[in-house]
Chain A
Amino acid sequence: MSVHTFQFVGCVEVRQALDRRALDERELMDRLEEVPAGSIAYHTHGYFLRHRPFTTPYGNDFAAWVAVHVRDQALAERLAVINPFEFTDVEDLREELTSTIHDHLLRLSSVPQVEFGEPFYFQQSHLVEVPLGPACTTLAEFRAQLGEVESSAIYVHMVEARTRLGRRSDDFAEWLRTSLGLADLAERIERIDTYMTSLERVRARILSLVDAALAEPRS
């Protein structure tokens, strides 16, 4: 990405099944400690990419499995509130997930397991990124493309950018601040809560912020 232009990039997940599965919560914890970091990201950040246009009450695959297949609402609640977007390092996220399960198991006399549901199948994904549309140089061009671009681009720039680059800021905010000098707008976009929502809602929120900025009288 050049300093002065913004290139929207979409993505497609190539999903890979790993030979690891869990039938109870201890196995889930043990496997969580050994799977590749990409698998943790797939089941947490990737949940946001896959669950469109709907969100479910869980926010990541681990919480959803514990709730639906193990039927342990207490642990599901605790895993669901772990916001993956607050972790710039996947290893820290892995630690948070495993320590939460460990702490939960310490309070129980037996390990909750799947009785009528399905095992948890660990997967990972490889993102194939795809440039979309011409590069933008102005806020108006940015707005026009943002309104039309495939929603995976919202994931790449708002979610993947943070985990890929290990920074708090997303691609949109970074470009608006450094290339267009729109620090206020950048800050407002950075404050959007991307957890427990959908890519389309995030798009709509950014569009409304950009529209408001475009409507402001120029100084």
Chain B
Amino acid sequence: MLRAQIAVRLGTLDLDVAIDVAAGEIVAVLGPNGAGKTTFLRALSGLVPLDAGRVTLDEVVFDDVSTGIHLAPERRPIGVVFQDYLLFPHLSALENVAFGLRARGASTKNARAAAESWLDRLDLGPYKEARPRALSGGQAQRVALARALATEPRLLLLDEPLAALDASARGAVRRDLRRHLASFDGIRIVITHDPLEAVALADRLVILESGRVVQTGSPAEVTRRPRSRYVADLVGVNLFRGIATAGHVALRGGAAIQSADGVDGEVFATVHPRAVALHRARPEGSPRNVWRGHASALDFQGDRVRVGIEGEMPIVAEVTPAAVRELDLAEGGEVWVSVKATEISVYPA
């Protein structure tokens, strides 16, 4: 069990997070650039001192600012796969993997033997004597993983493990990584800005924004109920925040919408762009939510067009190119918007 309460101020970053991770869990810390993800990882590693907080792994105290405890990085039972992997360029793949064992006091012979078996296990047998610059991105990543695992850590940290790879190689390497992560039984924390990577690798997502945890939960929970603009944009839905009273949601900014969900109080409301209908004139009939706006941006994505609507209630709609022609939509043109109450999902903020 990892219990981490971490407060670090570094330049403009104000990181203040508390995360518990159960034994055997794989957690992805997902967030935009500059959210403090790498600082969080460096703080867990002991490479950045805490301004306040306490970090414990099982019974081992890593940091406790109140009692002045700070365990040096080299004394923590951790393994880190760094962004860009940081394989020592002057050492062979084998020597890289043996480095941690040597540093922890193993004899050259034992360290080499253990390193060889790790390389074999990660299908790197033929590359033992290769220098890092001769390895492909995927091979380098596996050497970095072997190096981190060779010291048998209880906590494995991975910082953007796929970011250094070509898009073409990423899929295969991600599947491999998933398999190798599954065979390690300690706590695994993956830092990433890529939601696909987070969802593919982790049991649980921790969303980090501007140094704070804004949401945590299984990938399904997080995508179903985004709690921040960042997550909503990742998932591709419209997110609103307001106060609900018996199905009437007064939004921040003055507009209001009607929902079929019976939640009261501070709420988030999401609308999928496909559920947003556009009309040339005020529509007749049942939709409860109708308002007028201007098309501000048309983004053609194959057989779909995402239309940004400005007005009293900004929203993104997704329609077909045919609909764009029928509606005679142009940037800046007037358009009526409608959303059925049943298409608006409301949940407590």
| A and B interact physically | no
Q: Which residues of A contact B (CB under 8 A)?
A: none
Q: Which residues of B contact A (CB under 8 A)?
A: none
